[in-house]
């Protein structure tokens, strides 16, 4: 017990925050007295129970409903129209097709919706519990003698102080638990090192939270990476929806470039050569983003007309041209070798060779000027795909 007190009294942010919560709850307990403090403690416990119950029910509901929603969306045979879409329709098709195809996104959305519903429904029960509590309290007060009531002032405040301290301990534990989840899920996040350096946090996390959490939150970084990857897939889907309408001049150019090609691989190679030799890398755009954080979004039509773009622009243009001649293609995001021993954000393409067994081959038209990056051996060593 002494080690807990010593850790709490150290002048560091987490301990100070917990100490303020305890002192504030203690003062509230004295002011409210025994009955008021007990009532707040009762509802604090009820809120905690309702949150846990809602989480459990939402998890079960999402597990059951996710495959049903997927199957229903698949049965609708939703196809993105090939004509130009309004902003609202772009958002609509991005959301609907992403929910259909991306399991983690679908599960997460259903989980959030069902959790909100369960919390709302359980919230309707709170007034009933309040009436029950008040009736029990009135019965107990009626049974007290006049002498007890005369002595109740000081005793009530003392009891309220103890209940307030207990309530403060519960509130502090919730705060520490939130910090524990934050540190586990975002080990490199802001203030993480400061939180870890707290002796009180370290003791609470190691002795109370880690045994309860087990290995669930040790997978936090993995889960965070999975969420980030899913988010990037949604962004990629957004580009696919936006780029579904191919301008006539780009379609005509793609047809002209591939008119002598007979196989899917020959078509993919012809487009790779054409895009790779005609689109210059836009260093001004890249530097403006790296130095000033200013990003200029541009469409494949702008890349086609200006003959300039960064890797994502080149990849999107290649994808639009490839689709216009019947190739199945996707934009891939990940990390590309910089030539300085490290990697940086990058984008490239993969094309499916339907007439050669249906396999996918990688290509990088952005790097075409530096060598052969059309399905070369060792492509995966310089291009790290996000999974």
pLDDT of 146: 44
pLDDT of 171: 79
176 closest CA partner among 199, 205, 214: 205
What would the 3-class secondary structure string for 293-307 be? CCCCCCCHHHHHHHC
For 256-282, write each residue's pLDDT tens digit: 999 999 999 999 999 999 999 999 999
Angle value at C-alpha 361, between 355 and 364, nearest 5 degrees: 135
pLDDT of 132: 61
pLDDT of 151: 43
pLDDT of 133: 57
Q: What's the CATH fold of domain 246-385?
A: C8orf32 fold (3.10.620)
Q: How far is CA 177 from the centre of its chain?
A: 19
pLDDT of 30: 77
**CA dist 134 → 36, 42, 229, 384 (Å):** 11, 11, 51, 63
pLDDT of 59: 86
| Two structure tokens written together for 192 | 């993480």
Measured over the CA atoms of residue 174, residue 177, residue 181 and residue 186, the dihedral's sign is positive
Q: What is the mean pLDDT of each run of 10 residues along the chain (387 residues)?
A: 63 82 82 68 74 86 93 90 83 90 87 90 74 57 46 67 77 80 70 82 74 56 65 78 87 95 96 96 92 87 95 95 93 87 90 92 95 93 82
**CA dist 118 → 12, 94, 332, 382 (Å):** 38, 28, 39, 48
Parts of the chain belonging to CATH 3.10.620.30: 246-385
pLDDT of 225: 65
For 341-356, write each residue's pLDDT tens digit: 889 889 999 999 998 8
């Amino acid at each position: 017990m002494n080690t807990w007190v010593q850790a709490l009294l150290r002048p560091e942010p987490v301990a100070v925050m917990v100490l303020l919560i305890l002192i504030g709850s203690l003062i509230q307990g004295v002011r409210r007295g025994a009955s008021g403090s007990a009532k707040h403690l009762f509802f604090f416990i009820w809120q905690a129970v309702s949150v846990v119950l809602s989480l459990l029910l939402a998890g079960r509901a999402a597990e059951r409903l996710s495959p049903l929603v997927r199957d229903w969306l698949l049965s609708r045979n939703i196809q993105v129209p090939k004509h130009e879409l309004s902003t609202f329709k772009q958002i609509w098709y991005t959301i609907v097709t992403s929910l259909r195809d991306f399991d983690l996104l679908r599960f997460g959305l259903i989980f959030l919706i069902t959790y909100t519903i369960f919390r709302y429904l359980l919230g309707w029960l709170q007034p009933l519990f309040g009436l029950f509590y008040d009736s029990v309290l009135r019965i107990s007060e009626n049974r007290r003698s006049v002498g007890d009531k005369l002595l109740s002032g000081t005793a009530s405040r003392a009891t309220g102080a103890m209940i307030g301290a207990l309530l403060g301990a519960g509130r502090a534990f919730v705060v520490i638990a939130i910090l524990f989840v934050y540190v586990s899920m975002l080990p490199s996040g802001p203030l993480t090192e400061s939180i870890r350096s707290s002796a009180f946090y370290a003791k609470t996390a190691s002795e109370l939270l880690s045994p309860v959490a087990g290995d669930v939150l040790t997978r936090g970084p993995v889960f965070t990476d999975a969420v980030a990857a899913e988010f990037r897939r949604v962004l990629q889907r957004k580009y696919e929806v936006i780029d579904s309408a191919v301008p006539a001049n780009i379609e005509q150019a793609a047809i002209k470039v591939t008119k002598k090609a007979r196989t899917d691989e020959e078509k993919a190679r012809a487009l790779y050569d054409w895009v790779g030799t005609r689109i210059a890398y836009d260093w001004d755009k890249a530097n403006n983003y790296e130095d000033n954080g200013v990003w200029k979004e541009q469409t494949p039509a702008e890349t086609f007309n200006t003959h300039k773009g960064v890797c994502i622009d080149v990849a999107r243009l290649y994808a639009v041209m490839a689709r216009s001649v019947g190739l199945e293609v996707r934009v891939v995001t990940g990390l590309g070798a910089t030539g300085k021993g490290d990697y940086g954000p990058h984008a490239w393409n993969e094309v499916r060779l339907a007439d050669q067994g249906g396999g996918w081959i990688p290509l990088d038209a952005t790097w075409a000027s530096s060598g052969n990056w059309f399905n070369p051996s060792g492509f995966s060593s310089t291009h790290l795909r996000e999974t």
